Amino acid sequence: MRIVSGLYRGRRIEAPKGRMVRPTTDKVRGAIFNVLQSQGLIDGAVCIDIFCGTGGMGLEALSRGARFCTFVDSARDSLAVTRSNIESLGTEEQSRVIAANALKLAARTDVLPPADLAFLDPPYERGLLFPALARLHSGGWLAEGAMIVCEAEKRYGGAFPDFLILEDDRAYGEVRVFFLRYASAAVM
């Protein structure tokens, strides 16, 4: 795997051994970031990469001009690889790694700003996407108007909490990508 574009373009990032992690391919990551970049959503953004695996999405965002990224995963191997990838790119000052279950993620503290851009790529077909999104909302992790990019299996039904507005839905092979806008006022 490589960083597709930006400051670290072409730099390799590692993935955990085995089949426990399904990293977003370079092609799909590139397509996602082309959509985000065309809307001016990356430069200076604060990001959160949930179910980060390799950290590839957050690191791509940092490469393309994001200001900061919080990486969250519960798997030790994924966290070790993410930390290694952060160090190899020299983005330690722009990164924070949190070992946590996305469904039990503690509320955001004032030390970290809310995210303008969130990435979620949970294990497929386990029903994790909806509750992880709900946890980000209830924990105060999202800035009003944040863009949330969710990856799911191609046949995912697209059920999302009421505080999210579906802006785009794209299929890339067996992967379905949803671009959602956070609108917390929609639930009041």
| Tens-digit pLDDT profile for residues 140-176 | 999 999 999 999 998 888 778 999 999 999 999 889 9
Cβ atoms within 10 Å of 101's Cβ, excluding its own:
12
The pLDDT tens digits for 77-121 are: 999 999 999 999 999 999 999 999 999 999 999 999 999 999 999
- Given a contact cutoff of 8 angstroms between Cβ atoms, the answer to whether 90 and 81 are in contact is no
Report d(CA 121, CA 23) in Å as an integer. Answer: 9
Reported confidence tier of residue 67, pLDDT bands at 50, 70, 90:
very high
Angstrom distance (rounded) from CA 158 to CA 169:
9
Q: What is the pLDDT of residue 80?
A: 94
Q: Is 38 exposed, middle or buried (0-12, 13-18, 19+ CB in 10 A)?
A: exposed
Q: For the chain, what percent of residues have pLDDT higher than 70?
A: 95
Q: Among 48-52, 67-71, 160-164, whose mean pLDDT is lowest?
A: 160-164
**pLDDT given at position 21:** 65
18, pLDDT greater than 90: no
Show the tokens assigned to 5. Answer: 């574009």
Domains and CATH numbers, the chain: 26-187 (3.40.50.150)
At residue 185, the pLDDT reads: 66
How many Å apart are CA 60 and CA 83, to the nearest integer? 14
Question: Residue 112's closest CA among 99, 89, 94?
Answer: 94
